[in-house]
Amino acid sequence: MASDSGIIDKNDVIKICRMASTGTTPDGKIYIYNDKATKGLSLRAQGSKASWVVKHGGSDSSITIAYAHPETELRYMSALSKVQELASVVRMMLETGDKDIVKDFLSAYHMRRVEIEKSKGKDNNLARSLLPEFKAAKLAEAANRATEVEDAVWTFGRCVTEAIAAKTDPNASKKIAIGDKTKKDMELTFNRPAFESVLKKKVTEVTKRDIEGVRDEVARTVGKGPSSAMKVVNYTKSVLSYCADYVSQSGITDIDHWWRLMKNPYELESRDREPTIQEIVSTLILAEEYLDKPLPGRVFGDPGVRHAALAGLWWIVLTAQRIDAGLSLLPYNIVGDQERPDSGWLLAGWDGVEMKAGKTFILPIPARAWNFIERFRQQGKNLKDSEWAFPSDKKPGVHVSQSGVYRILYRLAGKDALVQPKRRKEGARNYTVPVRGDRRDLLEENGIAWWSGHDVRRTLGTEMTSRRMPGGASAILAHEVADDSRLRTNDAARKRLDFQMQRAAKITAVAYGAESQFIELKSLAMTEWTNAILDEYDRQTGRNVVPVVAAAE
């Protein structure tokens, strides 16, 4: 088997199709060309066919999504951009656990594509637009199979499935619509073992006692606070209210709506923590000590902190952004500020889909702050091959996660789990069960109160108020931005040689072309805030670090 890789273009497709038509591959067997522009996609010449194949993860399994040759194949596709779009969607399905429905999705996709081509219509983004419709149909089909045939009353599990599908429908009313984050949270809640028997019951037989039992079990077994248990009640009320108000065939329209009166006996702890700048910096310096040595009490000799995660934590502290959006930054959305050439200022841009307010957000980054972060970021294991500005050291292809950043703080405080991985199979010769030493709270030992990334935002507000510029905090925290500009791009644009230059121009234009971005105010506030943090770092470490400047990739 012979193989090559590169950014595939039409000439490559023609060459490989010719191999298939003539049966002349380099080694006379199989030839594979891996497309660097679309992760997991390859064009394979084997026998008399040239097939588009998607491979997922480290597995040897792959799936054929279309054919480039011969043209008589039912799934023949000639448009390279559409093949790449289809490949991206299929890979996403494989990564999110939808492997069992990929084949049915491909059949539906090609059927729809052929219909559109016959009618001479347009099928732009067909794969991405078809997927939600297809999954909703599959969910409905699965739910229908689970329906209680004897009297047509739904199970509680079907109510959950139908409610989530309806609430995530693109045309859902604002009264019931939920976002992707809430959808995942609901699925996590209802998939807990405590719900297993309740989901199988007819919805008319589910009682207040059932839900209270689930709530109390979750309170005992999940998390360190009552949040997960409170979600049991809140999401149950949401599901049952949807079915009662909008879906009479569920069977609960005319029964006692007992769930509407359910309440939680818990109360979340008030989030008023506000660490000082000294405490924040002391924590990060403490974390830096364990980049090349294990934390106390650990069995194995692995470093206690990874460079990529520490770079992500510094980024969250210096930008005061919400962790989920802050870490999901794309590398080509960090650009030099063209309005201030040779100044070292950068602009970081997030599209509205990534921000809580749903609006595009631009944040100016001082050279000193970015260069400092680069000390850690450049030592990450997966930086060069990643699609993210802050790629994970632990898992290729993904960015540093919220849990990855918080794991630094949990480990320093000795709050992480005591369970140790088994590095040798139990029963093997000379096997010994790893024994962990005493856990230590390094934060408490160093006089540092527990804090989280979100608490930094309060510290920023107080610091800006003390410097008589509270509006600067609001601008940095995206509290007052209302711009509708869009920064999203496509694979084809990213392949152009001048893409990075055009990207910088686009982000700079959004930053300075919209009054809502408050770019001058943000610049002043970011200078004050990042200098306060880094000056404290220099004071505590007794050194003035001048790192090597490295541009964002």
- pLDDT of 84-115, one tens digit each? 999 999 988 888 878 888 888 999 999 888 88
- pLDDT, residue 549, reads 46
Please state, for a pLDDT cut of 70, what percent of the chain lies above it: 81
Is 498 contained in some domain?
yes
List, in order, residues 6 or more apart from 413 with CB less than 8 Å away.
Answer: 441, 442, 443, 444, 450
Is 357 contained in some domain?
yes
- When pLDDT is averaged across residues 59-72 and rounded to a whole number, the result is 86
* Of the candidates 519, 157, 117, the residue with the CA atom closest to the CA atom of residue 339: 519
Is 283 found in the same domain as 255? no
Confidence of residue 299 (pLDDT cuts 50, 70, 90): low
Question: Can you say how many angstroms the Cα of residue 42 is from the centroid of all Cα atoms in its chain?
Answer: 25
Is 272 contained in some domain?
no
Is 253 found in the same domain as 293? no
Is 27 contained in some domain?
yes
Is 287 found in the same domain as 255? no
pLDDT digits (tens, 9 = 90+) for 240-259: 999 999 988 888 877 788 99
- pLDDT, residue 448, reads 92
- When pLDDT is averaged across residues 380-405 and rounded to a whole number, the result is 82
Q: What CA dihedral angle connects 363, 364, 369 and 375, to 10 degrees?
A: 70
The neighbouring-strand residues paired with 6 are 35
Q: What angle do CA 500, 506, 510 make, to 5 degrees?
A: 145
- pLDDT, residue 62, reads 85
Residue 67 vs residues 77, 100, 121: alpha-carbon distances, Å:
6, 21, 21
Whether 101 contacts 137, CB under 8 Å: no
- pLDDT, residue 261, reads 87
CA distance 504 to 202: 57
Is 88 contained in some domain?
yes
Please state, for a pLDDT cut of 90, what percent of the chain lies above it: 35
Residue at which a domain ends, from 212, 230, 261: 261
- pLDDT, residue 421, reads 47
Is 394 contained in some domain?
yes
- pLDDT, residue 452, reads 86
Choice among 43-52, 187-196, 355-364, 366-375 with the minimum mean pLDDT: 355-364
Tokens of 131: 């997927």
Whether 400 contacts 306, CB under 8 Å: no
Is 369 found in the same domain as 314? yes
Is 481 found in the same domain as 343? yes
At residue 442, φ and ψ (nearest 5 deg) are -70, -25
Does 310 score more than 60 pLDDT? yes
Does 395 score more than 90 pLDDT? no
The position carrying tokens 């990207």 is 503
Does 494 score more than 80 pLDDT? no
Which range of residues forms the domain containing residue 282?
A: 277-422+435-541
Amino acid at 88: S
Is 286 found in the same domain as 254? no
Choice among 5-14, 343-352, 503-512 with the minimum mean pLDDT: 503-512
Does 151 score more than 80 pLDDT? no
Does 306 score more than 60 pLDDT? yes
- pLDDT, residue 352, reads 55
Structure-model confidence comparison of residues 365 and 28, the more confident one:
365
Is 291 found in the same domain as 179? no
Number of domains in the chain: 3
CA distance 118 to 476: 51
Is 416 found in the same domain as 469? yes
Tokens of 356: 């809580």
Count, in order, helices (H) and strands (E) of the chain. 20, 8
Is 524 found in the same domain as 382? yes
- When pLDDT is averaged across residues 302-327 and rounded to a whole number, the result is 90
Structure-model confidence comparison of residues 93 and 384, the more confident one:
93
CA distance 29 to 424: 40
Structure-model confidence comparison of residues 243 and 301, the more confident one:
243
CA distance 205 to 516: 53
* Of the candidates 277, 312, 319, 274, the residue with the CA atom closest to the CA atom of residue 522: 319
Does 422 score more than 60 pLDDT? no
Residue at which a domain ends, from 261, 295, 317: 261
Confidence of residue 297 (pLDDT cuts 50, 70, 90): confident
pLDDT digits (tens, 9 = 90+) for 429-471: 555 555 556 678 899 999 999 888 889 988 998 888 888 877 7
Is 227 found in the same domain as 92? no
- When pLDDT is averaged across residues 6-15 and rounded to a whole number, the result is 91
List, as one string, the DSSP characters of 193-238: GGGHHHHHSBGGG--HHHHHHHHHHHHHHSSSSSHHHHHHHHHHHH
Does 291 score more than 80 pLDDT? yes
Whether 472 contacts 524, CB under 8 Å: yes
Confidence of residue 57 (pLDDT cuts 50, 70, 90): low
Whether 352 contacts 486, CB under 8 Å: yes
The position carrying tokens 């520490």 is 310
Does 495 score more than 70 pLDDT? no
- pLDDT, residue 34, reads 92
3-class state of residue 520 by DSSP: helix
- When pLDDT is averaged across residues 149-156 and rounded to a whole number, the result is 71
Confidence of residue 148 (pLDDT cuts 50, 70, 90): very low
First to last CA, the chain: 34
What's the whole-number average pLDDT of the chain?
82
Is 332 found in the same domain as 249? no
Choice among 116-130, 369-383, 495-509 with the minimum mean pLDDT: 495-509
Q: What is the CATH number of the domain that holds 182?
A: 1.10.150
The neighbouring-strand residues paired with 543 are none
Is 53 contained in some domain?
yes
- pLDDT, residue 431, reads 53
Tokens of 460: 């920023």
CA distance 25 to 5: 15
* Of the candidates 326, 456, 315, 311, the residue with the CA atom closest to the CA atom of residue 393: 311
Is 190 contained in some domain?
yes
Residue at which a domain ends, from 95, 127, 159: 127
Instruction: Write the burial class of residue 326 (CB in 10 Å: 0-12 exposed, 13-18 middle, 19+ buried).
Output: buried
- When pLDDT is averaged across residues 413-424 and rounded to a whole number, the result is 60
Q: What CA dihedral angle connects 125, 129, 135 and 136, to 10 degrees?
A: -170
Whether 508 contacts 337, CB under 8 Å: yes
The neighbouring-strand residues paired with 54 are 41, 63
DSSP state of 429: T
Whether 303 contacts 365, CB under 8 Å: no
CA distance 553 to 542: 31
Does 551 score more than 50 pLDDT? no
At residue 432, φ and ψ (nearest 5 deg) are -130, 140
Does 234 score more than 80 pLDDT? yes
Is 214 found in the same domain as 354? no
Whether 389 contacts 334, CB under 8 Å: yes
pLDDT digits (tens, 9 = 90+) for 164-219: 999 999 888 888 988 877 898 899 999 999 999 999 999 999 999 999 999 999 99
- pLDDT, residue 418, reads 53
List, as one string, the DSSP characters of 224-290: SSSHHHHHHHHHHHHHHHHHHHH-GGGS-TTS--GGGG---S--PPP------HHHHHHHHHHHHTT
